[in-house]
A and B are shown apart, each in its own frame.
Chain A
Amino acid sequence: MASLDEIIDSTSLYQNADLAAALHTFKNNPNQLQSFLQKQQASVYDDIVKQKGTTFNKVYGDLNRASKSQESVLMYQQRNKELTSMQNQVYNNQKNMAMAITDDKNLAKRKNEMNEWSISNKNDTLFVYSSLFIALSGLLLCIVLWKLEMISSSFCGSLAALLIIIFVLLLLNRYQYTEILRDKRYWNRKNFGGKYGKIPIPSCPGMMDDITSGVSSLTRYAQDAEKSATSELDSVSTALASSASELANTVHLSNAAHAVTQATQATQATQAQ
């Protein structure tokens, strides 16, 4: 089996021989040489033009695709912008609506509070009116009774004065309570004016200790209360027992005294006879 180098060498040799023969033919026949050259040149020309065209085709195709892609992205961005703008409008409208509703809610709440305060104030006035009506009715009754001479004028006067004083005191009380102590927003709230200070709040770190000590002190107080209650019960039962015996003694002594008295009376009656 021949080696590869030998095959290559023999092939090259054949090729060179063929080339020499072809050149010899072209030398003897210039027209054939021109035809060969023209053919080769046309082939080279086509190759060059084709390569250029292929390269540009690829680049131009890429450009077209990139352009289309960019157009799509751009339109997508445009749609997104429009969507964002629309959403902003909706957002602002809804925000205004929400704020209006919140304002309405607060306004309605405050209006309700004001109405409630006003109604309570009217009810208080109604209470005063009804008190006045009761006082006037009482006065009227007094005067009618006095006119019918069922009561004396002094009693009638003192009764009328009492009714008037009670009404005036009631009026003053309501007035000063509403003007000074009553809260101006919530009818049922009373202002203490810081008289009693603030409610102490236990500090968080020592809160558990405070709770523990509070529970233990409560337990101790409960135990002490139980003990004192027991001792009190004992003392009460003792006292009851002594009282019972004293009562029995008293009853016994009263019976004896009664008997002595009866005997004395019987003796005196006998002596008188």
Chain B
Amino acid sequence: MVVGMSNCPKEPISTDSELNDVFGDATRVGVLPVTPNGSSERDEKGTLLQNTLTTILIHLRKTGIIPSSTKDTPDVFIQKQKVLIQGLRLEYCFYESRYKYALEKVFNAIRNGDLSNTEDTKATLKRYLEITKMLHRRLNDLTQITSSITENMNSTSVGIQSEIETYNKQIQAQRVQLEKQSKIINKGEAVTNIRKEMIKYTEEKAKYTDNLLTLYSFLNIVTLGLLVYIYKAAGNE
């Protein structure tokens, strides 16, 4: 969803006291620091230095405003990410409405100065100009931080993709192992069945031999008895 300026809620401010308000409340925290970054953390054009951006991102990650794809479950991560993106839009609209108000005040002061070039008019113009510059920086900072969050997301996606490749390789390797195991199982089952049949066959052979042994035992006993009987009969005669 691309949000344009027209998508910002129409909540124009009406008093000067709201110009210095900071975005955020008990339920929502902004990504911009409460105190604007000083000039030492900016370059000559007024944009934030890379180190400063990195520090801000680390802080946001620590406070959980930027979700972590490794710590959170995917569902929680997606939910937090939605909250972050919506918060960014709300924060931008918050400062943008003040910026517009201040800008209008500046132009009004310029027009008034053209009509009555007094010290009071000059002071008013200067005050509004400072506020406008501050809000302009806030909006620029927010844009820079949003861009950095995007870069961070892209780099995280690249990291996740490398993990995915690792998983894919693992899946492929296991697929090969499964195929090998399947072959072993199919082949092994056939061999096992043959061996089981062979066991049955040997058991049949054992039964046959047992029968023969019983028969010969019986014959031997009969023969021995007959032998003893005949020997004794011969002895009696």
A in complex with B: yes
Binding site for B on A (CB under 8 A): 30, 33-34, 37-38, 41, 44-45, 48-50, 52-53, 55-57, 59-64, 66-67, 69-71, 73-78, 80-81, 83-84, 87-88, 90-91, 94-95, 97-98, 101-102, 104-105, 108-109, 111-112, 115-116, 118-119, 122-123, 125-126, 129-130, 132-133, 136-137, 139-140, 143-144, 146-147
- Cross-chain contact A90 with B231 (CB below 8 angstroms): no
Our pick among A63, A105, A109 for the contact of B150 (Cβ within 8 Å) is A63
When chains A and B are docked, how far (Å) is the Cα of A140 from the Cα of B233? 13
- Cross-chain contact B81 with A67 (CB below 8 angstroms): yes
27 A-B pairs, CB-CB below 8 angstroms? A37-B114, A45-B104, A49-B103, A53-B96, A59-B146, A60-B88, A61-B2, A63-B149, A69-B154, A70-B153, A70-B154, A74-B69, A74-B77, A76-B164, A77-B163, A84-B171, A101-B188, A112-B198, A112-B199, A115-B202, A115-B203, A125-B213, A133-B219, A136-B220, A140-B227, A140-B230, A147-B233
Please tell me if B13 contacts chain A, counting CB pairs below 8 Å: no
| Ranked 7 nearest A-B pairs via Cβ | A108-B195, A115-B202, A53-B5, A129-B216, A101-B188, A80-B167, A66-B153
Residue on B with the closest CB to A41? B107
Our pick among B2, B85, B168, B185 for the contact of A97 (Cβ within 8 Å) is B185
Interface of B is mostly: helix
- Cross-chain contact B213 with A136 (CB below 8 angstroms): no
- Cross-chain contact A74 with B78 (CB below 8 angstroms): yes
Interface of A is mostly: helix
Contact with A along B42-71 (1 / 0, CB 8 A): 000000000000000000000000000100
When chains A and B are docked, how far (Å) is the Cα of A73 from the Cα of B157? 7
A119 and B206 contact, Cβ closer than 8 Å, known pairs A57-B3, A140-B223:
yes
